[in-house]
Amino acid sequence: MIRSLMLFLAISLTGSSLLLAAGHDACNDIGYDWSHLTASELRSVASSCQNTGYSELNFHRAQYLDLLARNANISSMVYHARLSTESNISARLLHMVLVEQLVPYYLPAEDQQLNLLNREYGVNNEFAELRLRKYAELAKRLDRLQSRKK
């Protein structure tokens, strides 16, 4: 009885890691609804993915969630300071929500979708990081340079 109880507890406590060891759905499905996962869970999923593109995508999604949390914390602490920076970060984060939703309609091939999502997350997360670290002027210049390339 005690042995089965201990086994049940061990499986319950490590259930998520066992599930990840078998391969998570987010490692195979670009449209997987990851909104219920935390940043740390997404990092665990990313480290379990065999496909490098999916691994990178889930790491980007985890960083995105971290940036959302940091932006919310900073916004509540220093609401009166730099409203333009706050709105710019929010706009970039909203941009990623739209990209996630629209990419299947614009790019039919999964590898193209992965490449676009990884590129967009990489760029937008970097700009948000720069702004959160108070390098707004550098972010503006880089944004202008990136806009010229398109």
15 in a structural domain: no
Closest CA to 24 of 37, 13, 12, 11: 37
Asked if residue 56 has pLDDT above 90, the reply is yes
Q: For residue 17, is pLDDT > 70?
A: no
Per cent of the chain over pLDDT 90 is 25
Whether residue 16 is contained in a domain is answered as: no
Domain ranges, residue 101: 24-149
In a domain, 18, yes or no: no
pLDDT at 58 over 90: yes
Q: Which of 70, 7, 10, 59 is nearest to 37 (CA)?
A: 59
- On average, the pLDDT of the chain sits at 74
Task: Give how many domains the chain has, as a whole number.
Answer: 1
pLDDT at 132: 74
Supply the pTM of this predicted model. 0.58
